[in-house]
Amino acid sequence: MKILKFGGTSVGSVENLHKVKEILTKDTEEKIVVCSAMSGVTNQLVKLIGSVKLKDADAINGILHQLENKHSIVIDELIDDQKLKGELKERLSFMMTEMFDLCNQSYSEIVDAKIVTYGETLLTYIFSNFLNTVGVYNELLDAKEFMHVDNTDNPNIQKVGIKLNEVKENRAQTNLYITQGFVCKNHLGQISTLKRGGSDYTATIIGSAIDAQEVQIWTDIDGLHNNDPRYVEGTNPIAHLTYNEAAELAYFGAKILHPQTVSPIVDKDIPVLLKNTFDPEATGTVISNRIHNKGLKAISAKDGITAIKIKSNRMLMAHGYLRRIFEVFDNYHTSIDMITTSEVAISLTIDDTRNLEQILKELEGYADVTIEENHSIICIVGESVIDDKNSYKLFEILNHIPVRMISYGGSNNNISILVDTNDKIPTLQFLNKKLFLTPSHAVV
């Protein structure tokens, strides 16, 4: 069994849905297909939720109308059979009424999750019916029936596997299942999400739950590139990455992968393939535990970082002081990414600022605290990257860009620097030139 995940762009138009169909029908192997919402739809749903919070009836109606139109056009163009077309339109209209009713409830996290996951529900319903009508028989599985994820950081994979097998057993025999990414049920049995971009995570949770042979993530680019192609020209796909490398890159901003994608499949050593829907023959990237080559592989950037400097002339290096600082962050479930220390100060970074006010209040009890917002962590990744004889070149960045923090040696596989977000793109471009475009770029 293989798991194939198709992202928003891959399912974002009728033309692309036909391409997905081609990929699915290349062989008859058993597959579970995880689909995202059509590209742009989840963003529209997020906007819709904003309007629900504001109780802005005109905006709500406007967005619902756009969503109905968008999916209605897809049905028109995709489905030839008039009877089926009518049925799908009727179902679409029913789902829009359900959404309208939700929009008229007062805002809550459950209402939020129910609304924001509709994009996946709409798309999979239409796509599954389309496939069936053209002879590609499949069963549509409701992910809410088996993606029971009590703890999104550490899902109970076995539980998902048991539920998924139960759901499959009650359905007709087929070698093709279609389901929704992103949506899950939480520990209270309420509808929830795996966070933005979470369909990748859905795919690897399912892959691990059923001991899949491999997980394929189909997107709009030919694999994970050595730098962010949105900001840097001349980036190249990387043929092989280790789980460690992929996890670091995903966590530190490589948008192609949800940060938690790799974690469910590492222990089972299930490979993840990143493939291009628009160029299926392109090699793409294979993520596995095999180290093909060591040294510098790729650079990524994570925005929305806040640096916190904690200064205390009296106590910093005193026994137990660091513990007290870390406990404050721990008490507010706020994880720390980078840390540097001096004799009298510690600087650290966080990306979750929901509890920043309370954290600062507690820290200010025994230290001077300053914060700097709008920073980005630039992460240079590769197995044993710190031993790469070219890695020294990255420090030339210091001649060009004000660097706020550097983290070197925390792991052999990652060197991180913190810069103002306004300097992110020049930093990525400079590092690309220095580390990848100079002739001697090579590894240990």
The residue ranges that bind ligand ADP (CB under 6 A) are 7-10, 36, 39, 197, 219-221, 224-225, 228-230, 254-256, 300
Among 16, 138, 184, 198, binds ligand PHD (CB under 6 A): 198
For residue 408, which amino acid is it?
Y
- Give the x/- contact pattern for ligand PHD in 42-81, rule: CB under 6 A: x---------------------------------------
What strand order describes the sheet that includes 368-381?
336-341, 345-350, 298-311, 368-381, 414-420, 403-411
The binder of 254, among ligand ADP, ligand PHD, none, by C-beta within 5 to 8 A per type, is ligand ADP
> Residues 119 to 138: which contact ligand PHD by CB under 6 A?
119
Residue whose C-alpha is closest to residue 183's, from 243, 154, 142: 142
Stretch that binds ligand PHD, among 15-23, 36-44, 70-78, 367-375 (CB under 6 A): 36-44
Computed on alpha carbons and rounded to an integer, the radius of gyration of the chain in Å comes to: 24
d(CA 92, CA 69): 10
When CB distances are held under 5 to 8 angstroms depending on the partner's kind, the choice from ligand ADP, ligand PHD, none that residue 177 binds is none
Token representation of residue 99: 């959404």
Strands 336-341 and 345-350: antiparallel
CB of 167: closest distance to ligand PHD in angstroms? 21
Q: Which listed residue (197, 207, 223, 271) binds ligand PHD by CB under 6 A?
A: 197
Nearest by Cα to 356 from 343, 340, 373: 373
Which residue, 60 or 379, has its beta carbon nearer to ligand ADP?
Answer: 379
Taking the least distance from each CB to ligand ADP, the nearer of 36 and 117 is 36
Which partner, ligand ADP, ligand PHD, none, binds residue 181 by CB below 5 to 8 Å per kind? ligand PHD
Could you give the CA distance from residue 309 to residue 340 in angstroms, rounded to a whole number? 10
Which CB sits closer to ligand ADP, 7 or 264?
7
Contact 334, 350 (CB under 8 A): yes
* Tally of CB atoms within 10 A around 314: 9
CB nearer to ligand PHD: give 8 or 382: 8
For residue 223, state whether it binds ligand PHD (rule: CB under 6 A). no
Alpha helices in 55-81 (DSSP H): 57-78
Q: Which of 155, 181, 253, 259 binds ligand PHD (CB under 6 A)?
A: 181
The neighbour count for residue 171, using CB atoms within 10 Å, is 11
Q: Which does 145 bind (CB under 5 to 8 A by kind): ligand ADP, ligand PHD, none?
A: none
Partner from ligand PHD, ligand ADP, none contacting 182, C-beta within 5 to 8 A by type:
ligand PHD
Cβ-in-10-Å burial (0-12, 13-18, 19+) of 99 comes to buried
CA 154 – CA 172 distance, rounded (Å): 32
The residues of the shown chain that bind ligand PHD, judged by CB under 6 A, are: 7-8, 36-37, 42, 119, 181-182, 196-199
